[in-house]
Structures are given as structure tokens and as C-alpha cells.
Structure 1
Amino acid sequence: MKTPDVRRWAGVSAFAVAGCLVVEALTKLSTGTRPELDAGLALVQHTKDTAVQDIFVIFIDTFLMAFLIVFLSCFRQLVRNARPDLQWIADITFGAGIVFVAVTLVGDSMEGGAALDALGLEPDPSVTRALIVGHAIMFGSTGAVLLALVSATAAFLTFTTGVFPRWTGVLAAATAASNLVWAVVGFNGTSPNAFFAVGGVGNALLAIFPWLVWVFCIGLTASRGARPGTTRSGAMLTPDRETTP
């Protein structure tokens, strides 16, 4: 059986992530703004009204995270083939990314629990609030620190190996910086109308969205073919090795 093309799968997984993200964003736009956490009755009613949409988003997010695992594996493999001596740094990128996936899925489970509790039952406002805040922390500052580690190491590997264009390394470095900033300011309250607040709009714009843009850009450049001086598998070409295996 032919060995799967790692660059092709990097592109396929990145495009799938982008597709899932578009579906999630369009669905989220239909749910409106969440009430303040201390507005118990309004919060419960909002959870009831948006339960189906929330469960659908979580379902799509599960596939998004699965494709992210494929993408992270492809990124690590391309780096390993180019510079085996830097595999330990690529392992940090992969490991931090996997932990981010796990944290996100736990957060999704908390949000899904609140949504399921609102289907055919009478939710307890305090329980709903606790689940929402727990999800927001995981989706916010906790995830931002992990994404900063993924992005920072990915930037270093990009600059060092040349497997990906240098501009993607600059994008990764900028993403690491924005995530570190958000990790600090993300604890500034819980109001859904505040930009700098846990679970606020700033979380998507400063943390999650820039990183997913980087994922898409890496997948796009990977699917277009090998960089000069490397094979499609990421290995560096030598004078006596001028063809792709």
C-alpha cells in the first residue's frame, strides 16, 4: 500500500478545519448574545432557546478537533523529516496541541451538559452558570496559553527548517503574542458584552481565530508542494538526492 502523502493530508485536514469553523460561526451567529450570568431566569431561557444550536456546534467541533489532530501529526512529521535533531521541539508543538484539543473537548462537554439539561428539563440557574463559566475558562485563558506554546514553537521550527514559507512563521509568532496577551486580559469579568472578558468576543478575535488562520495557511502552503530544497515528505535535499522519494 502506498504511503499517504503527508503534505496532502496536512492540506486536507486544514481545509476541513476551516470548513467546520465556518459552519460553527454561522450557527453561533443565530444564537444571539448570552444574558449576564446573574440574570438567572433569562440565562436559563437563553440556554433553552439555543440548546439545539449549541449541541450542533459541539458536534461539529468534535470533528474539527479530530482534523486538528491529523494536522498536528502532519506538521510534526514534516519537521521531523527535515530536521530530525529538532524532533523534540516538534513534539512540544504536537503535545501542546493535543492538550489544547483535550481541554476544548472537556469545555465542549460542559457547554453540552448545560444544553442537554435544558432539553425537556427545568435547569437550575446556578448549575447552568457554573457550566458556562467553566467552559469559558477552558476556551479562554487556559486554551490561550496552550495555543501560545504551539504557535511559538511552530514559529521557531518554521524559521529553522524552511519547510514552510517564512511568512507563516511570522504569522505563528504574532499568534503566540496575541494568545499570551489574551491569557492575561481574559480574566477581566464575565460580561458577554465586554470585549476583554472571559468568553467575550476578544477571545475569538485575539486567540482562537488567528491560530486557525495559521492552521489554514500551513495547510494551503503544504498542499501546493514541497518548498525549495526539500522533498514532499519534508526531508532536506542533498547534492546526491535530487528527486522526491
Structure 2
Amino acid sequence: MTRHPHRKLMPDVRLWTGIAAVAVALLTVTEFSVQVFVVGARPSLDDELALVDFMTRTSNGTLLTILIDTMLMAALIVFLAGFRQLITHAEVALQWVADLAYGAGLVFVAVTLVGDAMEAGTALDVTGMAGDYSVLRALTVGHTVLFGSIGCVLTALVAAASAYVTLGSEALPRWTGWLAYAVAALNLLAVPTMFGGTDPASFFAAGGAGTALFATFPWLVWVTAIGVVTIRDRRRPYDVPADGAVAAT
């Protein structure tokens, strides 16, 4: 019997998926830190003078946050592509579900970048000129919904599809699949926050602390878990035999 040489996914998909996941985690923590310690809490949208003053003082911090988020989205695209390849390489029959997760993830990235552009508009509106309260308020309300409930629905779809293909393909440990289902459920729980108003002090406000706790944090935990698993466990069956692995001669 002659064994055909084993072939390996090139480039190393597991490695790059893990690196991208870790990058997403680190950039998310960095962005959160800048938002909390540099930008700070936004005043009420009803307070015209306070809102304009806040946007003026924090414009550079806001632009820095958006720059970090843009790099985060780039890393997320790499992660989503790598995750899809891991699944389809292990179980071709699940490709359409993996494509669903990938497609929903790309839509999430697009929606987030639109929200980033709107938030950047609030910073640029007060750069070198007097801020327009009506413009600042409208842009803030708009990107709050994009980052909040709309993003939660898309994240839930990505997580649910990822959970299904993980459990169906066993390309990754099964516990990561169940974790993804939990992430999907928590993101759906956060969707109704769009009816919670815009008061920054309210836990259930649109895009507020409730969204961060129920949606953003669980999503970060799952992505980080996938990153750790794919980097650490690179000896699972991803080095697969070529067609007809063992041929008789």
C-alpha cells in the first residue's frame, strides 16, 4: 500500500483564525478603555450646551475610538473567513450554513462601519467650527441604534449559525458551539433595548450598558475562546489526506 502525502490548508487557517480572534479581543478591550477613560460618558441628548461641549472636548478621542474600531472590523473579517474555511474543510455539507454566518458577519461589519462614519461625523462637525446641535443629536441617535439592536440581531444570526456548524462539523470543541448558542440568545435579549430611550444613565437605554453586558461581552468571550482553541489545538484533523488518502497498489 502506498500512502499519499498529507496536505495542509495553506496558509495555516487555524493559526490565522486564532490570531485574528485574539486581535479582535485586544482591539475591543482597547476601544472600550479609550471610550471609558478618554471619551467618557455622554450627557443627555436634551442638554444642548452640554452635548456640544462634550463633542468638542472629546472629538479626538472619538476619532481614535473609530480608528481602533475600523481595525477591529478588519480583523473580524479575517476571523470570519478563517472560521468559515475551518468548517467547510471539515464538513462540506454545512457550507451553506457557514456561508450564512460569514455573510451575516460581513453585514454586521458594514453596519458597524456606517455607525462609525456617523459617529465620526459628530467629531468632525465640531472640529474647527461651532458644533450644530441638531446634527450632533441626529447622528448620535442614528449610530446608537446601529451599534445597539441592529447589531445585536446580526450578531445573534452569526452566533447561531456558527453554533450549528460547530456542533455539526466538530471542527472545533463542542463546548464552543454551545457557547455560541448562548451568545445568540443573549444578543436577542438585548434587542428590545431600542425601546429604552437614550438616557445614558439608563441600563436599558439603546446602546447602553445593557447592550454591552448582554451582547458585546458574551460575543467577545466567544471570539476569544475560538482564538485560544484554534491557536492551541492545531493538531486536530486539519492535516487531511489527499483524495483517496490510502491507495492500494
TM-score by length of structure 2 reads 0.90
Equivalent residue for 2:230?
222
Question: Which of 14, 26, 31 is the matching residue for 1:19?
Answer: 26
Report the secondary structure of 1:186's partner residue: helix
Partners of 2:194 and 2:184 in 1: CA distance: 15
Equivalent residue for 1:78?
86
Specify whether residues 81 and 116 from structure 1 end up closer, same or farther in structure 2 by C-alpha distance, changes over 3 A only: same
Give the CA deviation at 1:217: 0.7
Q: Which string of whole-angstrom CA distances, capped at 9 and with x for unpartnered residues, describes residues 103-141 of structure 1?
A: 000000000000111111111111100000100000000
Indicate the structure (1 or 2) with the bigger Cα radius of gyration: 2
Equivalent residue for 2:5?
none
Contact 1:81–1:236 (Cα < 8 Å) also in 2:
no
Partners of 1:226 and 1:187 in 2: CA distance: 44
Partners of 1:56 and 1:20 in 2: CA distance: 12
Give the CA deviation at 1:226: 3.9
Larger RCO, structure (CA 8 Å, separation 6 or more): 2
Structure 2 residue 238 is matched with structure 1 residue 231: yes
Equivalent residue for 1:66?
74
- Count of matched residue positions in the alignment of Structure 1 and Structure 2: 237
Structure 2 residue 169 is matched with structure 1 residue 185: no
After superposition, residues 1-245 of structure 1 pair within 5 angstroms as: 3-30=10-37, 31-226=39-234, 228=236, 230-232=237-239
What stretches of structure 1 of length at least 5 have no aligned partner?
none
Output the amino acid matched with 1:11. Answer: G
Give the CA deviation at 1:227: 6.5
Partners of 1:128 and 1:240 in 2: CA distance: 62
Off by >2 Å, runs of 4+ in structure 1: 225-228, 235-241
Contact 1:164–1:227 (Cα < 8 Å) also in 2:
no
Output the amino acid matched with 1:88. Answer: W
Give the CA deviation at 1:155: 0.7
Partners of 2:139 and 2:112 in 1: CA distance: 14
Partners of 1:176 and 1:143 in 2: CA distance: 12
TM-score by length of structure 1 reads 0.92
Percent pairwise identity: 51
Output the amino acid matched with 1:124. Answer: D
What stretches of structure 2 of length at least 5 have no aligned partner?
1-8
